[in-house]
Amino acid sequence: MQITGTFLDEISHDIPHQNWGRAEWDRDFASMKSIGIDTVILIRCGHRRFITYPSGYLMEREGCYRPSTDLVDLFLDLAEKYGMKFYFGLYDSGKYWHNHECEREMEISRAVADEVWSRYGERKAFGGWYLNFEVSRAFAGITELYAGMGQYVKQLSGNLPTMISPYIDGIKLAVPGEELYKEDSIGIAQHEKEWNEILKGIQGAVDIVAFQDGHCDYHELADYLRVNKKLTDRYGMTSWTNCESFDRDMPIHFLPIKWDKMLMKLEAAKAAGIEKAITFEFSHFMSPNSCYRAAGHLFDRYCEHFNLAGR
């Protein structure tokens, strides 16, 4: 199972900024294309005060800083150049929905979606929406937030697909900086129970569910993925896997993953019958252009394994 999609993280909330301009991004999109990536997903158009495009609404409403470059426009240009679909990730206030003020978060997200669609909706590469409110369990208000925003952007855009990327409340969901692992996890039965209720509540509003694959142990992953696939099939959704290309087993957050670990995760997704693999995220952790040399080596091992031309 090969990776055919990647997130784009240019807000760099918890990973270093690479300070790329158009030439560097163009080079990286060419590297993505060389291994068959056909889908790019902007993980968020903004987080707190930092934003990826000059949003008049967010600069006035949330006091966001004006960016020096319109990255949404840049990413759409490059997606069009390399024949990729671009999914737009909504704004994350970093406060409202985290504090269970989901209606307030939705109000902002609706205004952002309106603004973005009026600016970029006619672009050829604009292929869908990413609802970037990431949770592992039945977080209070999350079903209403997913359903409300999914329905809203689908109506706005003529039913373009919507995507979420939740995670598993596994043993690796420890507090960063304190412990690598916690003593217990949600367990497969409880995971299935809670996500059955969430997916039931967002049926028709969310099309693609791409669970992050890094929070449980490697020998557990295939079983969780089978449950995820069963649930998405039940509610008429598509199941992708978000194959994390960074390593959660290291005390340093975050470095490129060991190739053997990535391969095990891709094989688990294949065994579970998952339709598509995407990654968080190519440019930092898997690219030959990354600020991390180990990312280029991961790219080389990946290309060797799948008999790809590489760089």
pLDDT in tens, the chain (311 residues): 999 999 999 777 788 999 999 999 999 999 999 999 999 999 999 999 999 999 999 999 999 999 999 999 999 999 999 999 999 999 999 999 989 899 999 999 999 999 999 999 999 999 999 999 988 888 889 999 999 999 999 999 999 999 999 999 887 865 555 565 656 678 899 999 999 999 999 999 999 999 999 889 999 999 999 999 999 999 999 999 999 999 999 888 899 999 999 999 999 999 999 999 999 999 999 999 999 999 999 999 999 999 998 76
**Beta strand pairing status for 126-130 and 162-164?**
parallel
Outline where DSSP puts E strands in the chain.
Answer: 3-8, 39-42, 46-47, 50-51, 85-89, 91-92, 126-130, 162-164, 208-212, 238-242, 276-279
The neighbour count for residue 264, using CB atoms within 10 Å, is 16
Q: How far apart are CA 37 and CA 28, in angstroms?
A: 11
Q: How far apart are CA 20 and CA 183, in angstroms?
A: 40
Q: How far apart are CA 2 and CA 126, in angstroms?
A: 23
Q: What is the pLDDT of residue 173?
A: 66
* Of 154, 150, 171, the residue nearest 249 (C-alpha): 171
Q: Is the distance from CB of 85 to CB of 125 less than 8 angstroms? A: yes
Q: Residues for the chain: how many in total? A: 311
pTM above 0.75, yes or no: yes
The torsion defined by the Cα of 75, 116, 166 and 289, in degrees rounded to 10, comes to 10
Q: What angle do CA 201, 62, 87 make, to 5 degrees?
A: 50
Taken in order of first residue, the domains within the chain and their CATH numbers are: 3-306 (3.20.20.80)
The proportion of the chain whose per-residue pLDDT surpasses 90, expressed as a percent, equals 84
Tokens, residue 275? 């339709």
Q: How far apart are CA 88 and CA 78, in angstroms?
A: 14
Q: What angle do CA 59, 91, 178 make, to 5 degrees?
A: 115
